[in-house]
Amino acid sequence: MTRGFLLLFFSLIFLGSPSLAAGPLSADGDDGYQLWLKYEAVTNPTIKAEYLKYTAFIGQPTEGKILQSASQELQTGLKKLLGKTVNITNSFGSRSGGIVFKIETGADSAQKPEGYQIKLSGGNIVVSSKTEQGILYGTFALLRHMQMQETIKGLSIASSPKVRYRMLNHWDNPDGTIERGYAGQSLWKWYELPERVDPRYEDYARANASLGINGTVLNNVNASARFMSQEYIVKVAAVANVMRKYGIKTYLSVYFAAPKTLGGLPTSDPLDPQVRAWWKEKVAQIYKEIPDFGGFLVKANSEGEPGPQDYGRTHADGANMLAEAFRPYDGIVVWRAFVYKADPNADRFKAAYEEFVPLDGKFDPKVIVQVKNGPIDFQPREPFSPLFGNMPKTPLGVEFQITQEYLGFATHAVYEAPIFKECLDSDTFVNGSGSTVAKVVDGSLHGYARTLMAGVANTGNSRNWTGHPLAQANWYAFGRLSWDHQLSSAQIAQEWVALTLTRNQKAGEHITALMLRSREIYVDYNTPIGLSRPWMGVHFAPEPWQNKGSRPDWTAVYYHRADSIGLGFDRTASGSNALAQYRPEVQQQWNNPDKTPLPYLLWFHHVRWDQKLSTGRSLWEELCTRFYTGADSVVWMQQQWDLAKENLDTQVYADVAERLKVQRREALWWRDAWVLYLQTFARQPVPAGFNPPKQTLDEIKRSVNVYLMR
């Protein structure tokens, strides 16, 4: 072929201009940075006309910083939603046609201080609250209403938070790494602070305030003592200055041994007067720089961290010493109940209850004990922690994990609202039927003075904040539930999709369907029927065979207990009797293997491989069915996503579509790993209708080992 002919031929297939190079340098796709605060232009002309009637001005009566944030947000939002710049004024007298903020200091409504009302009055939209913070939350609620293009005819919204401390926990280390973070590096740039204040801190604060989150713990619970140095307190203060404008208090995790390592004292014994004085002075030093400092979060005598037990003292001794230091201030002490001692004969399930229940009533009123939703550690499914309901004299906060430590990192789509709701809606029966975990946590059951909901953050410096675009929904869901735990998973999903991805109804339905099923799908290929913790190493790849650890509960086999007879952890009276930590009504749900709901079966029972289950299948058949249909359901997720394609931004579409491909591949990996491993015990073929794995167990183990290498 001559060169001339080649050129001719080529000209036939190569015409026009190729598309511009991909990548943000030249493209303008949605990179996810704006989260659910995109304020896309209102397209419904009737609705737009309604809204425009109230855009003569924004009435901000006083100068407070938080009110200013609310005004600015409203101005930004209205500009984007309606294309109109609305002026902010404090001299609006009896003008109408605007949006007006009204602080009702004297109002004796049932509203909590942070609650708000939005209604039409005097020809204005009036956002009222007892506090500036309430106005800010009301403003975000109004903007959410408008983003959803809902009518404002007869507008009347009133809402109050059910929980007082609504908090993110960042497991961020001072070197910028994030423990269990899958969305890049820490947002907090300690080496640049205090002089340089990254503009992103403000966007972080806005996003949280839009959900009603009012606290943030900046550093990892495996804490560095350096945060207690003057050098770092000043850095923290610079972050707190930004948070304050959005009604968010700043908290720190503390290293219990800091009096020794940082203070140079001979001990960190909480009953030692020098130690007590050191903490008092330290807290005073912090309040000097951060007058609205939130308090301390403490992980003590847990997974090797120091604590009061190092000196023969109790968790209450440790917590109360810190609480004493906070007495002159508003701050609180949040003490984690995530503890489990190394004991070859113990059931880790029971550890937190055993250590904490005897301390009920011994904690200072400034202490809240923070309890993980389940008894082990953020598994894809856990029964609720038996601590809930069993410490009536001690405010118990709940700790959820938003970051996907055990939920496939940033490559598996798992919508977590159903996990949070499952715990909150669980009935402890401690004061009879209806004594849900939610009522424990919101204080209505035991009359706690202080109530708390905490979420371990999934944020990082990735452009889209959370790595997986759909993981933004988990941050959103946590925040919304911390404000109102009665919202449904579906409602939150619909809201988030409309604000963030698409207002198209049909597309929205496909995406919310995907989201709402995603957790069960993940559980099916990962830990069905009550399996748990098939990881050690990096918490990523399947390792159900892992049987070496420095302590028995740091192996995988400890949790599933597979043997030639069957599978599962007997926690009935014939086993560890962990079930006895629950009320009889709960025990009845779970103590009979024939009646235990399948999602919890292997949490509480060692079940024979050939045992017939309520589905009519044997345990082995049911397991295989879950592994196979779970992995195949990822294909269904891909289909749902593709059905929404034409109503999605191309960049967001591609990002999620590619991650779903990874999820599909990894789901097959999980399926094959489990099936082949459990088959060595069950000694049965893969049930008819499913194709046996093509890889051998050894090949899979080798592929997993790759992820365990340095």
Instruction: Give the active site residues.
Output: 303, 377, 405
Q: Which stretch binds a copy of itself (CB under 8 A): 48-56, 174-182, 430-438, 451-459?
A: 174-182
Whole-number minimum distance, CB 270 to a copy of itself, in Å?
21
The residue whose two tokens read 């579409």 is: 653
| Helix residue spans in 249-377 (DSSP H) | 258-261, 273-289, 315-326, 351-356
The DSSP 8-state label assigned to residue 42 in this structure reads P
Nearer to a copy of itself, 688 or 706 (CB): 706
The least distance separating a copy of itself from the CB of residue 606, rounded to whole angstroms, comes to 34
Structure tokens at 106: 């004297």
Write down the least CB distance from residue 295 to a copy of itself, Å: 22
DSSP assignment letter at 172? B
With CB under 8 A as the contact rule, the residue among 261, 444, 577, 625 that binds a copy of itself is 261
Write out the DSSP string of 112-154. Answer: -TT-EEEEEETTEEEEEESSHHHHHHHHHHHHHHHHTT---TT
Distance CA 544, CA 146 (A): 49
Answer yes or no whether residue 1 interacts with a copy of itself by CB under 8 A.
no
Nearer to a copy of itself, 232 or 278 (CB): 232
CB of 87 to a copy of itself, least distance (A): 5
Burial of 674 (0-12, 13-18, 19+ CB in 10 A): buried
CB of 535 to a copy of itself, least distance (A): 14
Q: Which region, judged by CB under 8 A, interacts with a copy of itself, from 64-72, 578-586, 592-600, 614-622?
A: 64-72
Assess 121 for contact with a copy of itself (CB under 8 A). no
Q: Is 307 among the residues that bind a copy of itself (CB under 8 A)?
A: no
Q: What share of the chain is helix, strand, coil (3-state, %, to 5)?
A: 40, 10, 50
- Which listed residue (1, 4, 14, 433) binds a copy of itself by CB under 8 A? 14
Query: Contact with a copy of itself (CB under 8 A): which of 53, 112, 119, 226?
Result: 226
56 binds a copy of itself (CB under 8 A): no
8 A C-beta contact, residue 166 and residue 478: no
195 counts as binding a copy of itself under rule CB under 8 A: yes
What string marks each residue from 510 to 539 as x (binds a copy of itself by CB under 8 A) or -? ----------------------------x-
User: Quick one: angle between helices 505-526 and 650-682, nearest 10?
Assistant: 20
Q: Least distance to a copy of itself from the beta carbon of 172, Å?
A: 12
Residues 383-412 that bind a copy of itself (CB under 8 A): 409-411
Of the candidate residues 41, 49, 192, 505, the single one contacting a copy of itself (CB under 8 A) = 192
Q: Please identify which residue in the block is written with the tokens 């070859």.
A: 344
Minimal distance in Å, beta carbon 34 to a copy of itself?
6
Which of 225, 513, 516, 697 contacts a copy of itself by CB under 8 A?
Answer: 225
**Per CB under 8 A, 185 contacts a copy of itself:** yes
Q: Which residues on neighbouring strands pair with residue 368, listed in sequence order?
A: 334
Q: 480: Cβ–Cβ under 8 A, 6 or more apart, which residues? A: 211, 212, 487, 492, 495
Instruction: Give Cα separations from 364 to 335, 386, 443, 603 (angstroms).
Output: 11, 22, 17, 35
Task: Rule CB under 8 A: say whether 83 interacts with a copy of itself.
Answer: no
**Residue 418 in contact with residue 519, Cβ under 8 Å?**
yes
Using the rule CB under 8 A, is 200 a contact of a copy of itself? yes
CB atoms near residue 640 (< 10 Å): 19
